[in-house]
Chains A and B, each alone.
Chain A
Amino acid sequence: MSNNIIVEREKALVELERRIAELREASAGQPLDMSTEVAALEQKYRQIMHELFGSLSPWEKVHMARHPARPTSLDYISRFDRFDELHGDRHYRDDPSIVGGFALLKSRPVIVLGQQRGRDTKENLRRNFGMPAPEGYRKTSRLARLAARLGLPIVTFVDTKGADPGISSEEHAQSEAIATCLQAFATAPVPIVANIIGEGGSGGALALAIADHVVMLEHSTYSVASPEGCAAILWSDAGKAEEAAARLKLTADDLRRFGIVDEILPEPLGGAHRNTADVVRRTLEAIDAALTRLSALSKERLLEQRYRKYRRLGEWHAEGLEPIARAR
Chain B
Amino acid sequence: MPRPEWLPSRRGRETPSADTALWSKCPKCGEVLYRRDLAANLDVCTRCGYHFRMNAYDRINAIVDGEYTEIGQEVVSSDPLEWSDKKSYPAKLKADRERSGLSESVLCGFATIGGFPIALGVMDFHFRGGTMGRVTGERITLLLEEARRRKVPCIIFAASGGARMEEGMLALMQMAKTTAAVARFMEDGNFFVVVLTDPTTGGVSASFAFQADVIVAESRAVIGFAGRRVIEQTIRQRLPDQFQTAEFLLEKGAIDMVVDRRNLKDTLVRLLEYAKAPARAS
Contacts and interface: CB of A to CB of B under 8 A. Distances in A.
Interface of A: 163, 165-167, 169-176, 178-180, 182-183, 186-187, 202-203, 206-207, 210, 222-225, 229-230, 232-235, 243, 247-250, 254-255, 258, 260, 306-307, 310-311, 313-316, 318, 321-324, 326-328
Contacts of B81: 247-249
10 contacts: A173-B253, A173-B254, A175-B205, A225-B165, A250-B169, A310-B176, A318-B80, A323-B77, A324-B76, A324-B77
Contacts, number: 202
Contact of B226 (A169, A206, A248, A328): A169
B183 to A, nearest CB: 5
A206 B211 contact: no
Contact of A174 (B134, B207, B226, B253): B226
Interface residues of B, number: 73
Nearest to B86: A235
A187 B206 CA distance: 17
Contacts of B252: 171-173
Given A223-B169, A310-B177, 14 more contacts: A166-B235, A169-B225, A170-B243, A171-B252, A186-B180, A233-B161, A310-B176, A314-B80, A314-B134, A314-B138, A316-B75, A324-B78, A326-B74, A328-B103
Nearest to B205: A175
Contacts of B161: 233
B interface secondary structure, majority? helix
B135 interface: yes
Nearest to A314: B134
Contacts of B83: 247
A165 B176 contact: no
B79 interface: yes
Interface string B64-97: 0000000000111111110111000010011001
Contacts of A163: 206, 225-226
B154 interface: no
B163 A203 contact: yes
B179 A258 contact: no
